[in-house]
Structures are given as structure tokens and as C-alpha cells.
Amino acid sequence: MAFEGLAERLQGTMKKIKGKGKVSEQDVKEMMREVRLALLEADVNFKVVKQFIKDVKERAVGQEVMESLTPGQQVVKVVNEELTQLMGGEQSKIAVAQKAPTVVMMVGLQGAGKTTTTGKLALHLRKKHNRKPLMAAADVYRPAAVQQLETLGKQLDMPVFSMGDQVSPVEIAEKAVERAKEEHNDYVLIDTAGRLHVDENLMDELENIKSAVKPDEVLLVVDAMTGQDAVNVAESFHERLGITGVVMTKLDGDTRGGAAISVKSVTGQPIKFAGTGEKTDALEPFHPERMASRILGMGDVLSLIEKAQTNVDEDKAKELERKMRSNDLTFDDFLDQLSQVKNMGPIDELLQMMPGANKMKGLKNMQVDDKQIAHIEAIVRSMTKAERDDPSLLNASRKRRIAKGSGRNIQEVNRLIKQFDEMKKMMKQMAGMQKGKKKGGFKMPFM
């Protein structure tokens, strides 16, 4: 997960000062020294770090902190707000042209994931905004680039405009916009060519395309794994093209996160989307305030809820709530919930969105192997319908049969049954709490 090292360092630093009833200038000075080191180690641009430290320091020794009833917590609030501002302040949404189609140029170096991101963005626009995008294959140099976008189009059931690799990219872009008008597509996503590094020929071509189609957005796709190089690339592209936003790919990887923190300050342009995996739906709008909260260990409940709303069946959720209240949960319900949670994304990433998850024993650095989930599913599916409905039927001989049928050992079967019983008890208690609260009080998550 991105920012892992930075998050650990900053959370440790914030913890030292958070509980202080009185904060001195010396306390702030020592804290800022640690914060500076943490940011530099995360590959944040040194000029950005210098300005950030200055801004936080000024506020942290000001009246809003010194006269606060909880100065320690106020300092953490200041750091959170300044970190949010550093990454853009608030979410920057994709442009919508007054008259369709909205033209989006996808630019960047080779290997950053431009073509794949074009497909992801098209899917996002269709699923989340009910738009009708057209993808245009204007990379005529990279072998099989046109075919890659066409294959993506078939996979996503998305229209792709292409004219092969013997036509000028400027002409392809112009014809794509014409086609979009004819077919009433409200977005045109132009997948342009990249190079291994920034060069004059590339920039001249991109400038010509921009001049020809006058895009509403010029989105630069950069690889977060390249650290400060990503920021340098962003600066170069912005100088020549005037980019309007950045898509940061591989932000889910083992990256220090410095590029994501630096790019807005260096270019003045916001990160609009973040790639969070290899699947075609693994593209999310970038929320600076949510990312800052996650870095500082405050969780990201809003993103968690949005994932749940997208992937959890509301009718099934209501039925589950009814069963929880009557303590009527079955292993079939358990399987169904497991399937819906899997659709929300990697479980270890979901856990990181929970406030305080980093402090919870057993959750910190937790790695959830998909094989473990497959083993659980195998055990449950080896039970009969009657056993799944009534786990009290599971005697020793039945457990041996289930273990043999699922290819697991008897200890794993016993462990799963015990965990299921404990989960039922916990959910019954939570349902009881909900029942006992007045309207507007405690609510079950995602219910």
C-alpha cells in the first residue's frame, strides 16, 4: 500500500504530541524535525517539504493551538489540514464540456499505463456518471497499441475509434471527435503515444493534437512507483502542454508516495484519479482529505461506505439485518457476505480504511491471502444444505466428512465453526444495540 512507511512514521510522531495538554515551541520544533525526515524519506520534493514545515510550524505555534483546550489534538488537526492542502485541498472532478462531446487527451511516457487507464476511465465514466464514452486509438508507434485498446474495448463493451497505424495521430483525433458527434458519445478519450523519455518529437505531436481538437482535459498518466521522476515528468509535460490534471497509477503498490504529495505543489495541477489495482474497475477519484486522513491513521470511512454502496446488494443487506436481529444467520448468509466483501476489493486494503485499524492488534500489516478465503468457501460448500442452515448438526463424523470433501484438515473446520459462532454472538449484540438506540443513533455499517 502506498504511503505505508510515511504513515507509520507520521502516526508515531503524531501519537507523541496528540495527548499533550500543553504544547511548547520546542515540542513543535522536535515534531517538525521528525515530520521533515519522514516526508523526505517518502521522496517528497524537498522544496515542498520546506514550505509544508513552514506552514505547519506557523499555525502550530499560533493562537489557534496555544489557546486550545486540547493543544496536542489541535496540532494533529493542523497537520491533517495542511497535508490535505498539499495534495490539492479538495477533490478535483473531471471536466464536462458545455456542448458534448467532452474531449480528454491522455498523455504520458511509455510504461505509465496510459492505454489501460484510458479503458479504466471509460468504464468509470459509464458506471459512475452514466456517460457514453468513445475511446480513440491515436498511438500509432508502439507495437500493438491500437490492438490493445481495441481488445480493451471488446472486454468492456466500449466503442473504440481506430484508423490503424499508418494514419497521422492528429487526423485520428479529429476524426474521433467527428465520430463522437455522429454517434452522440458525450466523452472522447484520446489515447496518445508515449516515449521512454520526454523528447521534442513527442511534444510537438501532442501540441498539434491539442491544437486540432482543443481538449477540455489534458490528463497526464504517471507511475507513482517512479517517485520524484513522476514529478519531473509532470513538470515537463505541463510546461509544454498545460496539463489540467494527473492520473497516478500503481498507487496501491509498494511506493513511498512522494509523487502524489508533491505533484500538486510543483505543477499547480491536481491529481484527479488514482489507479488502485490491475482490474478494469480499479480507478478511483482522488480525494486529498481522505488520503491525508489515511496517512495519519484516521481511516477513510467515506470511501469504505462508497465501496459498500456500489458492491453490496441493498435487499440482501436488509434481509441480513433481519436475520442478525433474530440470531438466524446461516453459513449460506456467511458465504453471500464473503462474496460481496470480496467484490469491494482486497480485504487488507479495506481494513486500512477503518479508523484506528493500524492500532488494532492483528490488523496492522495484515495480509489476507485469497487462498485463505478459497479454503473457507471450500469448507462451507462441503456442508449439506441442512448443515449450513443449522450448524448445531455438525458432530465429529460430519466434520471429518467436510474436512475430507474440502481438502482441509479437521482443525481448520473446527476453527471456522468457532469463528462463525463468535460472529453470530457479536452481530446479535450489535443488532441489540441498534434496536435499543433512538432514531438517528447507532446504525449498522452499510445498513
Q: Which residues are annotated as a binding site for GTP?
A: 108-115, 191-195, 249-252
Residue with cell 507523541: 16
What 33-42 contacts at long range (C-beta under 8 Å, 24+ apart), as own/partner pairs, is 34/9, 35/10, 35/79, 37/9, 38/6, 38/9, 38/10, 38/13, 39/6, 39/258, 39/261, 41/5, 41/6, 41/9, 41/256, 42/3, 42/5, 42/6, 42/256, 42/257, 42/258, 42/261
- Cα separation of 42 and 228, whole Å? 10
Binding-site sequence positions: 108-115, 191-195, 249-252
- Cα separation of 55 and 290, whole Å? 20
The helix (H) or strand (E) run that includes residue 249 is strand 245-249
Residue with cell 473446520: 413
- Cα separation of 224 and 231, whole Å? 9
What 30-39 contacts at long range (C-beta under 8 Å, 24+ apart), as own/partner pairs, is 31/60, 31/75, 32/56, 32/57, 32/60, 34/9, 35/10, 35/79, 37/9, 38/6, 38/9, 38/10, 38/13, 39/6, 39/258, 39/261
